[in-house]
A = this chain, B = another copy of it.
Amino acid sequence: MKRIYSAIAVFVIGLILILNHSQSLAQNSVSDPLPSWNSGTPKTAIIEFVNRTTTSESADYLPPKDRIATFDNDGTLWPEKPLIQGMFILESLKVLVKKNPDLREKQPFKAALEGDLAYIKQLGEEAVMELLAAVHANQTQETFTVTARQFFETGIHPTLNLPYTQLAYQPMRELITYLQKNDFQTWICSGGGIDFVRLISEPMYEISPQQVIGSSLKKQFIEKEGQFVLWRADKLNSFNDKAEKPINIDLHIGQRPILAAGNVRNGGDIAMLNYSQGGNQKSLQLLINHDDAEREFAYAEANNASLKAAQKNDWQVISMKKDWKRIFADQQ
Complex: A46 Cα to B312 Cα, angstroms: 57
Compute how far the CA of A210 lies from the CA of B237 in the bound complex, rounded to whole angstroms: 21
Contact present for A247 and B274 (CB under 8 Å): no
A145 (CB) vs chain B CBs: closest residue? B254
* A37 interface contact, C-beta 8 A: no
Decide: A246 and B230 in contact? CB cutoff 8 A. Answer: yes
B275, A221: Cβ atoms closer than 8 Å: yes
A195 interface neighbour in B212, B220, B243, B254, Cβ under 8 Å: B254
Residues of B within 8 A of A216 (CB): 251
Task: Indicate whether A11 sits within 8 Å of B15 (C-beta atoms), given known contacts A221-B271, A253-B210.
Answer: yes
Contacting A210 at CB < 8 Å: which of B141, B209, B252? B252
Question: Given A209-B255, A277-B228, do A14 and B8 touch, yes or no (CB 8 Å)?
Answer: yes
In the complex, whether A128 has a CB less than 8 A from a CB of chain B is no
B255 touches A243 (CB 8 A): no
A146 within 8 A of B: no
User: Does A250 lie at the interface of the complex (its beta carbon under 8 Å from any beta carbon of B)?
Assistant: yes
Residues of B within 8 A of A251 (CB): 194, 216, 219, 237
Question: How far apart sit A219 and B103, CA to CA, in the bound complex (Å)?
Answer: 39
Residues of B near A275 (CB, < 8 A) are 221, 228, 230
Q: Mark A3-25, 1 if CB is under 8 A from B, else 0.
A: 11011111111110110010000
When the two chains form the complex, which single residue of B4, B17, B211, B271 contacts A21, counting CB atoms closer than 8 Å? B4
> When the two chains form their complex, are residues A14 and B17 in contact, meaning their CB atoms are under 8 A apart?
no
Given contacts A185-B210, A275-B228, whether A252 and B252 have CB atoms under 8 Å apart is yes
A221 and B195 contacting across the interface, CB-CB below 8 Å: no
Could you tell me if A209 and B8 are in contact, using CB atoms closer than 8 angstroms? no
Render A178-206 as a binary contact track against B, CB cut-off 8 A, 1 for contact.
00000001000000001100100010000
Interface flag for A227 (CB, 8 Å): yes
- Is B247's CB under 8 angstroms from A219's CB? yes
Which size class do A's interface residues fall under? 35 or more
Name the contact of A4 in the complex, choosing from B12, B13, B17 (C-beta under 8 A).
Answer: B17
Q: Is the CB of A198 within 8 A of B254?
A: yes
Contact B212 A254 (CB under 8 A): yes
Q: Which of B10, B65, B274 contacts A14 (CB 8 A)?
A: B10
Q: A3 to B15, Cβ gap below 8 A?
A: no
Residue A278 at the B interface, CB < 8 A? yes
CA distance A113 to B275 in the complex (A): 37
Interface residues of A in 141-185 (CB under 8 A from B): 141, 185
23 contacts between A and B (CB under 8 A): A3-B21, A4-B18, A4-B21, A7-B14, A8-B18, A11-B11, A11-B17, A12-B14, A198-B254, A209-B253, A209-B254, A210-B211, A210-B253, A220-B243, A220-B247, A221-B243, A221-B247, A227-B278, A228-B274, A228-B275, A230-B246, A230-B247, A252-B252
A residues neighboring B (CB under 8 Å): 3-4, 6-15, 17-18, 21, 65, 141, 185, 194-195, 198, 202, 208-212, 216, 219-221, 227-230, 237, 243, 246-247, 250-255, 271, 274-275, 277-278
Nearest 6 Cβ contacts at the A-B interface: A11-B14, A7-B17, A228-B278, A10-B14, A221-B243, A228-B274
